[in-house]
Structure 1
Amino acid sequence: MVRLPLTPADVRRGQRLGALLRRARGSATVLAVALEAGVSPETLRKIESGRVATPSFPTVAAVADVLGLSLDVLWAEVARPEGAAAPAGAGPAAADRLVS
């Protein structure tokens, strides 16, 4: 299977996802969250750093579940166009309130 190159928008979206997951993890260790989610710590590190811009849905869902994140809100934050306003009621700290 040939994988198409990532667009700059894909890369930025992956960086936003990683930053949101990193903030949601808080003081929990990468190791603890990764093991509970059933992914390798290296995979979680790569996602959080933006080096894996398009992680699989099951991986994102598993990590989000462990962190108590709503996938709907997570996607709304990650997928919104750059420069677009945050979703209604989502102030500057919206990513801090991604808990379902």
Structure 2
Amino acid sequence: MDHSNHTRLAGSELTPDILEGATIYGPADEKIGSVDHVHGTQIVIDVGGFLGIGAKPVAVASNELDFMRDEDGDVHAVTSWTKDQLKAMPEHRD
């Protein structure tokens, strides 16, 4: 997916209603997870699993993710983290 034509979200758009469920793409443009929820200044990402079953929630700082909208208006994010790096992080617990 070419993200160069996608519109970056403004800070005011970084709300749980907009971000929850957004797909996260890694450095090789592969899907590596999805936003489970926002926890303060952290974004909790579900990594691994299948259809949400067996996924591991991990928390990353919101500035580690570049949120944007594609041509269809769908919100997603790009990060330099790989799926393996996220899986190696400690599990997030609320």
Structures share a fold, TM > 0.5? no
| TM-score relative to the length of structure 1 | 0.25
Identify, as 1 or 2, the structure richer in helix.
1
| TM-score relative to the length of structure 2 | 0.26
